[in-house]
């Protein structure tokens, strides 16, 4: 950290002693004696970022070969698991905002992979449904995600997976509460 200039006034942007203590606490060392692990919180954050970047780097070429743009595979995969869902419900399942999802659905509809059907219970809403061609494409996407899941969890035991999922869910709750 750069040295603060001497004088009575603290320039804007220079942390005071309290701010420095808070920053140190936030980036402190994590002790996990059960696994003999001592690490920086920053290391964990960076590992999560690297993990997601590696996953995307591996999957991107597969989905590009299928003619899909980022975001579309996730939509097709969720529809493969269950279609005939409202756009709002699909947006929630895909962790996307409705406007972004709508643009992606427009492209998927143009490609002939999905159709919007009038919702029988709500005149203002549509159900998103896979076409026959879309079901085939979604099946290919689903297979790629399944292969990726196998690669990700290779050599990792069930107990470790449960511990990771538990911790990840807590992190998500922490972040969603912000």
Show me where the domains of the chain are located.
55-155
Q: Which residues pair with 115 in a beta bridge?
A: 129
Q: How far is CA 47 from CA 52, 102, 173, in A?
A: 9, 32, 19
* Ramachandran region, residue 42 (left: φ > 0; alpha: ψ -120 to 50; beta: rest): alpha
pLDDT(126) > 90: no
Sequence-distant (≥ 6) Cβ neighbours of residue 23 within 8 angstroms: 15
pLDDT(119) > 90: no
Q: What is the mean pLDDT of the chain?
A: 85
pLDDT tens figures, 53-99 = 999 999 999 999 999 999 999 999 999 999 899 999 999 999 999 99
Q: 55-155: which CATH architecture?
A: Orthogonal Bundle (1.10)
- Return the minimum-mean-pLDDT range out of 24-33, 43-52, 66-75: 24-33
For residue 110, which of 140, 78, 164, 67 has the smallest C-alpha distance? 67
């Amino acid at each position: 950290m750069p040295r603060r200039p001497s004088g009575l006034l603290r320039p804007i942007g220079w942390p005071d002693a309290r701010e420095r203590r808070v920053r140190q606490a936030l980036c402190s060392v994590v002790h996990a004696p059960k696994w003999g692990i001592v690490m920086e919180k920053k290391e964990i954050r960076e590992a999560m970022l690297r993990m997601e970047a590696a996953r995307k780097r591996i999957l991107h070429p597969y989905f590009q070969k299928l003619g899909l743009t980022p975001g579309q595979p996730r939509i097709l995969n969720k529809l493969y698991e269950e279609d005939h869902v409202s756009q709002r419900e699909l947006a929630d399942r895909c962790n996307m905002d409705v406007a972004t999802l709508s643009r992606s659905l427009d492209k998927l509809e143009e490609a002939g992979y999905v159709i919007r059907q009038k919702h029988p219970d709500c005149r203002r809403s549509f159900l998103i449904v896979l076409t026959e061609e879309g079901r085939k494409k979604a099946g290919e996407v689903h297979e790629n995600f399944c292969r990726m899941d196998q690669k990700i969890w290779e050599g990792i035991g069930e107990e470790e997976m449960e511990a990771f999922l538990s911790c990840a869910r807590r992190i998500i709750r922490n972040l969603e509460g912000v």
